Amino acid sequence: MSDGVPAQFIRDTRSALARMVGDQPIPHVVVDDFRGVGDRFKGKTFALAALSGEAEVQSLGDAIAWLTSPAGGKLTREDFLTPDGESALDFEQKVQQLARALREPADLTRPLAASADELRVLLFPAEVHVLYARQRLYQMERSPFLRARAWEEVRLQVEGLGKGSTSMTWLSSCANDTLRLISIELATRLYGPTTGSSSATSGPS
C-alpha cells in the first residue's frame, strides 16, 4: 500500500522503456586506486557512474553557460574558435560531466560533489583530467559500438600523424584513455600480426 491506497489500485504510468531502465541498478565503476595530487586521496574510494545521452548534452550546455558568464570569463563565440577557447571548453565540459558522474560509493543516487562549482574549486586540473579519463574509459568499455568507433578514430588519427595531415600538437589535447589507445594501436602496427587494420578496430583484449 502507498498512502493508504491498496497496491492493486496503484497504476505505473511510466513508459515501457522507463520501467526497463528504472528497475536496473546505476551502472558504475568503483575507483580505489586514485591518489590525487600529493597523495591527498590515497585510501579514498570513488564511484564513477555511466552517463546518459541527456546528461552529456546538458554537460556541454552548462559548460558553455558557465564560460560565457562573468564568473567563467565571459567568453564569446569567437573565443571558442581559438585554441585557448577550445581548451577552456574541453576542461569545463570535463568538470560538468564529472560533477554528474562522481557518486558516493555507499549510495549511488548521491553525487559526491555538491555542484560543478564545488568540484572546480576543490579538484586540481590534473585530478579532473585523470578522473574524467577513467570515467570515459569505463563508459567506452561498456559499449562495443563506442569502443569500435573509438578505435576507428584512433586509427585515422595515427595515419594522419604519420602522413603529416594531423599536427603533433593534437597529442597534447588527448585524454589519457585516448593516448592509451594510440599506444596500443602503434604497438599492434609495429609488433602485431600483419593483418591490416582489423586487429586495431577490435579493441583491446
User: Per mean pLDDT, which range of 43-57, 90-104, 144-158 is the poorest?
Assistant: 144-158
d(CA 83, CA 74): 16
Same domain? For 48 and 135 the reply is yes
Do 168 and 71 share a structural domain? Answer: no
Q: Say whether both 120 and 176 belong to one domain.
A: no
Same domain, 167 and 192: yes
| Residue 154 domain-assigned (yes or no) | yes
Do 150 and 84 belong to one domain? no
Top-confidence residue, 86 or 142: 86
Query: Which segments of the chain does DSSP mark as H helices, in order?
Result: 16-22, 53-67, 83-101, 116-122, 125-142, 144-163, 176-191
CA 54 to each of CA 58, 78, 136: distance values in angstroms, whole numbers, following the listed order: 6, 26, 16
DSSP state of 48: E
Does 77 lie in the same domain as 35?
yes
Domain final residue, candidates 110, 142, 174: 142
Backbone angles phi, psi at 21, to 5 degrees: -75, -40
Residue 202 binned pLDDT confidence (cut-offs 50, 70, 90):
very low
Q: Same domain, yes or no, for 192 and 97? A: no
CB atoms within 10 A of CB 137: 20
Q: Would you tell me how many other CB atoms lie within 10 Å of the CB of residue 182?
A: 17
Share of the chain above pLDDT 70, in %: 69
3-state secondary structure of 113: coil
Of 38, 205, 104, 184, the closest CA to residue 197 belongs to 184
Which residue has better confidence, 99 or 136? Answer: 99
Pairing of strands 102-104, 107-111: antiparallel
C-alpha cell at 79: 573565443
User: Which range marks the domain in which residue 129 is found?
Assistant: 23-142
| Contact in structure between 57 and 100 (CB atoms under 8 Å) | no
Give the global pTM: 0.64
Give the H or E element holding residue 29.
Answer: strand 28-31
Q: Which 3 state secondary structure label does DSSP give 106?
A: coil
